[in-house]
Amino acid sequence: MNFKRKLPIIAVLASIMLLIVWGGRLYALAGRVEAPKQAAIMEVFYPEQLSVNLPEESFSPTKLWGAAPELKIRATPGEID
């Protein structure tokens, strides 16, 4: 088979490939395909206070990741906090 006769087949295959690639991209861009979410593996929190005679599980921590604010320090120049 000469090249001229192969050309339509090549064009059809290339079009299909382009369609798959670009179609996939467009589909993802439209937000219909989401990257798999990484499950939360830890939480950071402020313990209200480390008191005596309390096993760690009975502290009532405030969750800081997610909707809660970040860890925060307020201090003055020269201060050790």
Residues within the interface to another protein (CB under 8 A): 39-57, 59, 61, 64, 70-81
Cα separation, 15 vs 51, in Å, equals 69
Beta carbons within 8 Å of 6's beta carbon, 6+ residues apart:
none
Q: Which residue, 29 or 41, is less far from another protein as judged by CB?
A: 41
Cα separation, 64 vs 44, in Å, equals 6
Q: Which residue, 30 or 73, is less far from another protein as judged by CB?
A: 73
Give least dist CB 33 to another protein, A: 23
Q: Which residue, 31 or 78, is less far from another protein as judged by CB?
A: 78
